[in-house]
Structure 1
Amino acid sequence: MSNDELNRVSDMDGEDRYEYFLDQVAESREVWILVNGNSQFLKIASDDGDVEYLPVWPASELASAYANGEDSLTPRSITLPDFFRKWVPGLTGDGLEVGVFPGADGTVWLTEPEELKRDLQDVMSDF
């Protein structure tokens, strides 16, 4: 992914980033998260603490750009079957939402794990 494309995609508004995420993940069949040196995934809490979510990206370059030099965070791929089978039930059970493709401006599209799974399955049915 070129720097121009990285910037263009990162500068999209939340809804456009969500649509881009769905299309890219449906094609690549993988979701990207950030993990620390202990293989613990990044979890973000809202400013008021009411919502906790797992941020996800459609490509490792986009996850790396979000980490922006945080040496302790590295991108890790989750295959879509693993995401559906393990992560969606786990996130739901833990009461975590999914923050789809957080933007450089700090905005993020929050969704329930099951809703994201349905949206991805809908997009994949078009392939």
Structure 2
Amino acid sequence: MDYQLSADELKRINQLDAEQRYSYFVQAVADLEQIWILTDEEGFVLVTAEEERCIPVWPHEELAQEWIEGDWAHCIAQAIDVDTWLDKWTSGLNGDELAIAVLPDTDGPGVVVLPDELAETLISEMQDDD
């Protein structure tokens, strides 16, 4: 399902603090059933946050696209279906000992969580929506 954020929505989301962005991310992913990452010719992009190697994730393409500049100008935003994320990515990220930087902004990495923790939160939120 495609959902376009308005300029006002983008501004409002970008003004949220890290905890509020995390809550927003979980709700948006549960509703839209997609997680956005950045990829390049070598695979998905990683950042270092809180001394952890992390994959940054966003709930909307527009938010991910805001990061495509500077060192990441060659990247593209790619959607991952939430079921694929839960079935394959969670265990893969665990195996690679990677954390997740949820909805980072210019001030920092956002909330950094382990893959299992994010998966449990998403599953819980998706069950609440049913």
Whether TM-score is above 0.5 comes out as: yes
Structural mapping, 1:30-49, within 5 Å? 30-36=34-40, 38=41, 40-46=43-49
Could you list the runs of 5+ residues in structure 2 that have no partner in the other structure? none
| TM-score relative to the length of structure 1 | 0.91
- Which one of 72, 75, 85 corresponds to residue 77 of structure 2? 75
Please say if residues 11 and 104 of structure 1, whose CA atoms lie closer than 8 Å, have aligned partners that are also in contact.
no
Q: Aligned-residue CA RMSD in angstroms?
A: 1.5
1:105 and 1:80 map into 2 onto residues whose CA distance is 27
Structural mapping, 1:1-12, within 5 Å? 1-12=5-16
2:108 and 2:114 map into 1 onto residues whose CA distance is 19
SS in 1 for 2:44: coil
Could you list the runs of 5+ residues in structure 1 that have no partner in the other structure? none
> Deviation string for 1:60-82 (max 9, x for gaps)?
00000122464301100000111
Aligned residues: 124
Q: Which residue of 1 aligns with 2:53?
A: 52
| TM-score relative to the length of structure 2 | 0.89
The runs of 4+ residues in structure 1 deviating greater than 6 Å are: none
Structural mapping, 1:17-32, within 5 Å? 17-32=21-36
Q: Post-superposition shift, 1:31? A: 0.3
The alignment-based identity, stated in percent, is 35
2:23 and 2:6 map into 1 onto residues whose CA distance is 20
